[in-house]
Amino acid sequence: MFLSHHQQILLFQFPVLLSRVSPIMQIINKFVLDKHIQEQPETRKGLLAWLHEVERHEWNTFSDVFNHFPKAVALKAGREVAFEIQKDSCYLLSVIDYPTHVLSILSIGPLKDVLVPRLAKHFQTGS
């Protein structure tokens, strides 16, 4: 990432301030990703490709997510997002805090385990 002279000075004086406006998503709960790869090694390639793509972009709304992942499914006004990792066999459920550019991985697995329970809950509560 190229920083202007002004940004370099800010980074030196206020590193926390500049880290908040970093143009990449911060991903937390990566241990869920690692655990799933160990249990299901056939998903490794898809999950690492997803991780690489997510870490390279800045998302401010669900529309930004949808531009990179057209099969993404939004719940809770786009705060919860399910990504299709492998067609019909592996999905990743996450929560995204757009203002801070933080994505938290909630779970990874087949559609029936990851997305169906959330959709049922979503339609029961209406949120």
- What are the CB-based long-range contacts (under 8 Å, 24+) for 76-82? 76/122, 76/127, 80/106, 80/118, 82/114, 82/115, 82/118
Q: Give the β-pairing of 102-109 and 26-28.
A: parallel
**Structure pTM?**
0.73
- Residue 16 falls inside a structural domain: no
Token pair for residue 60? Answer: 């401010």
- Residue 9 falls inside a structural domain: no
Number of domain units in the chain:
1
Beta bridge partners, 79, equal none
CB atoms closer than 10 angstroms to residue 33: 19
Domain boundaries, position 94: 22-125
Q: Render pLDDT for 17-63 as a digit per residue (tens, 0 to 9).
A: 444 444 588 899 899 989 999 999 999 999 999 999 998 888 999 99
Q: Render pLDDT for 52-111 as a digit per residue (tens, 0 to 9).
A: 999 888 899 999 999 999 999 888 878 899 999 988 789 999 999 999 899 999 999 888
Query: Of all helices (H) and strands (E), which one includes residue 25?
Result: none
CATH of residue 109's domain is 3.30.2310.20
- Residue 117 falls inside a structural domain: yes
Longest dimension (CA), the chain: 52
Q: What is the pLDDT of residue 58?
A: 87
- Residue 8 falls inside a structural domain: no
pLDDT above 50 for 4: yes
Q: What is the pLDDT of residue 77?
A: 79
- Residue 43 falls inside a structural domain: yes
- Residue 41 falls inside a structural domain: yes
- Residue 105 falls inside a structural domain: yes
What's the rounded Cα separation, in Å, for the pair 103 and 94? 7
